[in-house]
């Protein structure tokens, strides 16, 4: 009898570990992935407290103690520095709960890619990859993803300690 209880306990333990592993794999794969926002809401200067980019705006929701937010900030600042007409705006999620609730921001960092008119076209929950953000900006601007922009972002990342230094052209 004791042996059958041990077997049953072992089966339950294996089942729990399997479910947790599957959940973890799914969570990790979805984290930072850009999703299309076809019914994109429009954000204004009044909503964000800053001017929108002429071509695109990268809106980052962060919190003070969020480590992935620091890495994401470095990536987005680098892209905004080298991509003409692109602006990065960081929103303190704790201070802007009205906007967090309205946009259903559930975790930080959350990044929104806005077009020139402030319409949300892409969204990522978690730290997005640099190459995915470059592709999103290229799609919004209508210009191709170029090696020159990738090189500039890689050089900017190498110059800062908070951003990853991988060569984005090799990640394509």
At 11 the pLDDT is 80
Contacts of 35 (CB under 8 A, 6+ apart): 122, 123, 124
For the entire predicted model, the pTM comes to 0.71
Q: Are 22 and 83 found together in one domain?
A: no
Largest CA distance in the chain: 73
Residue 170 forms part of a structural domain? no
137-166 mean pLDDT: 61
State whether residue 44 is helix, strand or coil.
coil
51 Cα distance to chain centroid: 21
Parent domain of 5: 1-30
The total number of structural domains that make up the chain: 2
The pLDDT tens digits for 95-109 are: 999 999 999 999 999
Q: Are 20 and 96 found together in one domain?
A: no
Q: Are 101 and 16 found together in one domain?
A: no
Q: Are 12 and 58 found together in one domain?
A: no
pLDDT higher than 90, residue 143: no
% of the chain with per-residue pLDDT over 70: 74
At 45 the pLDDT is 94
Q: Are 10 and 52 found together in one domain?
A: no
pLDDT higher than 50, residue 112: yes
- Side-chain-facing half-sphere of 75: CA atoms under 13 Å: 26
Beta strands in 73-156, from DSSP E residues, in sequence order: 86-92, 110-115, 120-125
69-77 mean pLDDT: 95
Q: What DSSP letter does each residue of 61-86 carry, written as one string?
A: EE-TT-HHHHHHHHHHHHHHHHSTTE
Q: How confident is the model at residue 69 (pLDDT cuts 50, 70, 90)?
A: very high
**Residue 111, preceding peptide bond in cis (omega within 30° of 0):** no
Q: Are 155 and 70 found together in one domain?
A: yes
Q: Are 25 and 39 found together in one domain?
A: no
At 167 the pLDDT is 38
Q: Are 122 and 145 found together in one domain?
A: yes
Q: Are 43 and 24 found together in one domain?
A: no
CB of 103 closer than 8 Å to CB of 18:
no
pLDDT higher than 50, residue 33: yes
Indicate the range of 107-116, 130-139, 148-157 predicted with least confidence.
Answer: 148-157
């Amino acid at each position: 009898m004791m042996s059958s209880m041990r077997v049953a306990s072992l089966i339950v333990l294996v089942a729990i570990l399997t479910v947790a592993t599957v959940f973890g794999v799914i969570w990790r794969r979805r984290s930072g992935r850009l999703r299309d926002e076809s019914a994109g809401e429009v954000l204004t200067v009044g909503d964000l407290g800053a001017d929108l980019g002429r071509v695109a705006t990268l809106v980052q929701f962060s919190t003070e103690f969020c480590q992935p937010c620091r890495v994401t900030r470095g990536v987005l600042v680098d892209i905004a520095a080298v991509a003409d007409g692109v602006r990065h705006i960081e929103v303190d999620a704790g201070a802007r709960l009205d906007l967090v609730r309205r946009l259903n921001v559930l975790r930080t960092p959350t990044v929104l890619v806005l077009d020139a008119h402030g319409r949300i076209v892409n969204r990522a929950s978690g730290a997005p990859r640099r190459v995915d953000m470059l592709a999103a900006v290229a799609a919004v601007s209508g210009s191709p993803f170029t090696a020159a922009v990738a090189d500039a972002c890689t050089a900017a990342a190498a110059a800062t300690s908070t951003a990853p230094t991988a060569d984005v052209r090799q990640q394509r």
